[in-house]
Amino acid sequence: MDIKINSVHFNASTRLEDFVINKVNKLLKNNENVIGAEVFLRLEKNENSENKVSEIKLNVPKSELFARKQAKTFEEATDLSIEALRRQLVRYKETIKGK
């Protein structure tokens, strides 16, 4: 499983990268359909305190799943993105079984 982490407008700490990898691996543990994952951690340039953005793209056969969430911390944004992708994976599995 290939997980790429890209940090935009800042340098991510190893602790943050480990957190993201751990969360993505937990999501993928029971989902053998996922080919790879790409994570973008972005620091938005606005005055709002919720300027941390986590974007996660999962590559699955014949499709891509994507979630983008914004929060006060990267950890919170990543948790929200993972939860959104968890729901998308459930729907994806249902459509695969339905074919």
User: What local confidence, expressed as pLDDT, does residue 99 receive?
Assistant: 64
User: What local confidence, expressed as pLDDT, does residue 26 receive?
Assistant: 92
Tell me which residue range forms the domain holding 62.
2-98
* CATH number assigned to the domain comprising residue 74: 3.30.160.100
Give the count of domains, the chain.
1
pLDDT in tens, 4-36: 999 998 899 999 999 999 999 999 887 888 899
pLDDT in tens, 65-90: 999 999 999 999 999 999 999 999 99
DSSP string, 5-24: EEEESS---HHHHHHHHHHH
How many CA atoms are closer than 13 Å to the CA of 2, on its beta-carbon side? 6
